[in-house]
Amino acid sequence: MDQMVKTAVKKIPDAEELAAYVEALNIHLENGKIKDPDIEKLVKNLPYPDSIRIGFSEEECRIVFESIGYAWKKISGQDIIEEAKIERPPKGLEGNYWMMTNGVLLEGPNHFTIVKQNMGMFSTLLNISTFVMHEKIASPPDELIKTIIDHGGMRIFINKDKKMYCQVNAKEYSKWARQKIKKLDMKNKIIKVIDTSRPYHGWKTGVTILL
C-alpha cells in the first residue's frame, strides 16, 4: 500500500504561510472584492508580506495571525486552521483521497478539505505556488480541485462496496496513474481522464475508462 499521511490539528501558520495569506487578501482588496469597510481598513493595515517573511518571530506571527485569520474568515467564509482531525477509516480504504505521483495518499472528509489541511504538501509535491493555493482556497471548490488535477493530483473516491472513482489528467494517467490504479484491490475502477484545457464541472468531467 502506498504511503498514508495523517493530518493532525494544525498549529498557527508560519511566517511564509501568513505572508501568502496577506498577499491573497491584498489581491482581493485590489480587485474590489472586499465590501466591508472595517475589513478593508484591517487589510490595509496588515504588515507587508516581505516584512512578515523576513523579520517576524513566532510570537509576532501569533499576534498578526488573529487579524489575518479574522479577515480571511470574513472574506472567504473559511477558517485558516481546520479544527477537525482526519483519521484513517477503520475498515481500510473507503472515502475521499488524493494521490500523487510519489505514492503519497492523503485522506479526509472531502477533497477540498484535504487540500486545505495540507496546503504546504500539495504546493511542494505538485509545484504549485503558495499564492495560487491561497487564491484557489478562497474560490469555489471546483476551481481548487481543477488546479490540483491540472498539476498532477489524482482525485479518488471509494464507496463501501469497494467501487472506486478517480479523476486524473491525461498526462499523469499515462505516466503513472494507470499503473497505480491497476495495483489497487477494488471491485470496480472507474477513471475519468481529464483534458486540462477544458472547463471542469465536478465528477462528470472527463473521458470514462474502466479498469
Residue 114 makes CB contacts below 8 A (sequence gap 6+) with: 86, 96, 97, 98, 106, 107, 108
Per-residue model confidence (pLDDT) at position 19: 84
Per-residue model confidence (pLDDT) at position 180: 87
* Strands of 188-194's sheet in order across: 4-5, 105-108, 95-99, 154-158, 163-169, 188-194, 207-210
The model's pLDDT over 154-184, given as tens digits with 9 standing for 90+, comes to 999 998 888 999 999 999 999 999 988 888 8
Average pLDDT along the chain: 83
Per-residue model confidence (pLDDT) at position 168: 97
| Dihedral angle of Cα 78, 80, 85, 86, to the nearest 10 degrees | 80
106 contacts 118 by C-beta, under 8 angstroms: yes
**Spans of all domains in the chain:** 15-76, 95-210
Of 25-29, 80-84, 103-107, 154-158, the poorest mean pLDDT is in: 80-84
Total-model pTM: 0.62
